[in-house]
Structure formats: C-alpha cells, structure tokens
Amino acid sequence: MDSNAVIGAGSWGTTLAVLLAGKSLDVSLWVHEEDLAGAMKTTRVNSVYLPDTRLPENIRISSDLKEVLDGASCVISVVPTQHIRGIFSRAVRAIGDDACLLSASKGIENGTLKRPSQILEELTGRRAAVLSGPSFAKEVIQRKPTAVTLAARQEAEARRLQELLNTGFFRVYTHEDITGVELGGALKNVVAIASGISDGLELGGNARAALITRGLAEMRRLGTAMGAMEQTFSGLSGIGDLVLTCTADLSRNYTFGKELARGLTARQIMATRRTVAEGVQTSKSVVELAARHGVEMPIAEQVYKVIFEGKSPMKAVQELMGRSLKNEFTC
C-alpha cells in the first residue's frame, strides 16, 4: 500500500505526520535517534519534541530509512538544513522512482549556499516542491487555523500536494516561485534573531517594527537578486512567516535572540537546546550570498557578527542606527 514518508521527527516533522494520519492516510515517520524511536513506538508520544500529543496508530515509526521509504508515494523532508545532505545521501536509493519529493525545511546550507530543495534535487536527480509559511507546530497540532504556501514547478504536482496536505484547519495555497518561497522561509529566521535581540534589550515596539520592515526589505533585495518574484515576499512565506517568527516566544530563533541579548554566547545557548534555531547557521550563508550578489544586508550582517564574532548586541544596534542616511525605497 502507498504511504507518505516523513523524514525527520522534530516538532514540525511529527506534526506533519499527525496531520496526514488525521486524514486516514498511511504514514511512516523516520526518527533519527534509535532510542527515541523505540520509546515512541511503545508510548506513542514524541517525548522530546511534541510531548503533549499522542501519535495516531496509523503512523509507523522507525529509525530505519529504508523501512520508512519503502512504498512511499510522497517523501517529505523535515530534516534540519545542515543535515539534509548526510541523511539523504543514505536515503536516495530507497526512494521509489515515482515518489514525489517535498521539502519542509527552512535554511541555507553552509559552504554550498544551496537551499534545501536544491540539495534534494542534487542528490536524487528529481524535482522537489517546497512547503513554507507561518506555521508553529504547536498551533497546527492543536488544529488552530493556519495558512501556508506550497511551491512547485508544475501545476499538477502543486495541486496533488495541495490536496494531500490541505485540511479544514490547515489551508494550503499554491505558488510557482520555489526560490522566493524557500528564501523567505530561510531569511526570516535571521531577522527573527535580530527581533529577539531587540526585545531582549527592551528597545520597544518601534524598534521591533523597524527591524521587521527593514528585514523584509533585505529579504526582498536578496531574493530578487537571486531570481525570486518580488510579490512572493508579500505573501505567506514572506511577510506572513516573518511577522510570526519575529514576535512570538514559540519561535526558536526569536528566543535565541533574546538569550543573546541577556549576554549568553551562541555556544552556551545551543548547549542547552535539542531543537535547532535554523537562523544561526543561515546567517553565515546569508552574509556570503549577499556578498556574492552584491546586496546590502546590514541586519543580517550584524546578526552574524553577534553570533560568530562575539559582537555586543547593543553595539550592533548602535551601528545599525548610525549608518549613513538613505532613501527608504532605493536601498
């Protein structure tokens, strides 16, 4: 029987598996940690990433990639971006010839500067669609109204995946701009760290609003320089995801920024977390992409310096405010 394979059992991967299972679909969930997979089979609970949710019986749980991918008609990657290459290098031979491929990861690979879908396409030799948008796992699992964007090259593929994922509480819109949708999901995490720093320093609502607005301008500049459609950044995967991630404590990147503002180093923060704040490593890739495309991204640059060069968060704010005066819409 055809099944849907979800690769990655963090909070979002587990949530997508539960969403599909709730539609009475056959679902297999790959769990990286063998001990966690064993515990989840016994308790039907992901105690690490989604402890308050019982997993439906029609979710098969395994730490064996081949077992999870066997017979899968759709493969959904929810692997942290920096680990996609390692995991799918092992998985590629087990993916069926006719299986569709959907990326639900948000980030940019260090070194190669590739987006998640590009990594998957390189490894598998097939097209990958992209799912992004404002969607905290905790709220989706509680069946609270959510709207997201699904981008694919072919309309038929987009429609197929739209129907697969859409529910009465999880509304899926289609789009053709894979580059823009994916960049929106990656870049907003960097701005969210900046927003967390601002709120952690108690700089107020004015500062947060300015960061979100100017952060969106940076996202749009880099995106269009890389071939994305400008209007994409006004949609769910752009400003929608940006506003959500920059304003709520459910955002791992926002809370990471708040902890940086308290004086903790990035290494100290990461040592206390099992979840990944994708914006940390993405900031490194973004600075390189900005240089490659000749795009000015001062907020992203300051976030990178605070994380990787130990710059004082307040000093970073002062430098942003002290930049030479400019026209708002020509920079």
* pLDDT in the model for residue 127: 95
Whether residues 165 and 241 share a domain: the answer is no
Which of 176, 201, 219 is the endpoint of a domain?
Answer: 176
What does the pLDDT read at residue 1? 46
188 carries an active-site annotation? yes
Q: Do 113 and 288 form a contact (C-beta atoms < 8 A)?
A: yes
CATH number at residue 46: 3.40.50.720
Domain-terminating residue out of 159, 176, 193: 176
Residues 116 and 225 reside in one and the same domain: no
Q: Is 142 helix (H, G, I), strand (E, B) or coil?
A: coil
Q: Tell me if residue 153 falls in helix, strand or coil.
A: coil
In the chain, % of residues over pLDDT 90: 97
Instruction: Give the active site residue among 188, 258, 284, 305.
Output: 188
Whole-angstrom Cα Rg for the chain: 19
328 located within any domain = no
DSSP H helices, the chain, are: 11-21, 34-43, 65-69, 84-91, 116-124, 137-141, 155-165, 178-200, 205-225, 241-245, 252-261, 266-271, 279-293, 298-308, 313-321
Domain interval for residue 124? 3-176
pTM above 0.75, yes or no: yes
In this structure, are 129 and 66 located in the same domain? yes
Q: Are 196 and 257 in contact (CB under 8 A)?
A: yes
Whether the Cβ atoms of residue 134 and residue 146 lie closer than 8 Å to each other: yes
For residue 275, the SS3 value is: coil
Strands 27-30 and 59-62: parallel
- Taking CA atoms, 65 is separated from 76, 91, 120, 138, 188, in Å, by 13, 6, 15, 26, 31
Q: How confident is the model at residue 330 (pLDDT cuts 50, 70, 90)?
A: confident
Across residues 267-277, what is the average pLDDT?
91
Cα distance between residue 64 and residue 55, in whole Å:
19
